[in-house]
């Protein structure tokens, strides 16, 4: 899977708690992305990064923040989880912002 590791793979959390998902890459790719996948919506971009400490918002960024302090790690934080954030989250990496390679995903359930 192109040297991408997402952790945790599964998580159940309570409404109102903070949650952090981690994406780790060993490919030294410049671009990293967080998507969420929901039935009937396909994949939607949450946030992306084009370098260390360089991040920007995607289509569905409300309620999420990100950080990238090292090339290999891209963290997604839900400051106060809500039931609408129950989803499968995918990290992707790309060297050229064209060919993107995805991780295995994190299934998050907010109860």
Say whether residue 64 binds another protein (CB under 8 A): no
Shortest spacing between CB 16 and another protein, in angstroms: 29
Instruction: Give dist(CA 10, CA 6) in Å, integer.
Output: 10
Residue 62 neighbours by CB under 8 Å, 6+ apart:
none
Binder of another protein out of 11, 13, 24, 58 (CB under 8 A):
58
Shortest spacing between CB 78 and another protein, in angstroms: 19
Shortest spacing between CB 98 and another protein, in angstroms: 5
Residue range at the interface with another protein (CB under 8 A); choices 10-18, 21-29, 48-56, 70-78: 48-56
Say whether residue 102 binds another protein (CB under 8 A): yes
Beta bridge partners of 102: 92
Shortest spacing between CB 53 and another protein, in angstroms: 14
Residue range at the interface with another protein (CB under 8 A); choices 15-23, 66-74, 79-87, 100-108: 100-108
Query: What burial letters (b/e) apply to 29-56, b meaning 16+ CB within 10 Å?
Result: bbbbbbbbeeeeeeeebbbbbeeeeebe
């Amino acid at each position: 899977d192109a040297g991408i590791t997402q952790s945790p793979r599964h998580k159940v959390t309570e409404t109102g708690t903070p949650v952090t998902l981690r994406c780790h890459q060993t490919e030294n790719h410049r671009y990293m992305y967080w998507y969420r996948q929901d039935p009937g919506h396909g994949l939607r971009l949450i946030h992306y990064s084009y370098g260390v400490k360089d991040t920007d918002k995607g289509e569905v960024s409300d309620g999420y923040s990100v950080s990238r302090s090292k090339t290999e790690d891209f963290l997604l934080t839900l400051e106060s989880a809500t039931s609408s954030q129950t989803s499968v989250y995918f990290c992707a990496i790309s060297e050229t912002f064209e060919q993107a390679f995805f991780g295995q995903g994190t299934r998050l359930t907010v109860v």
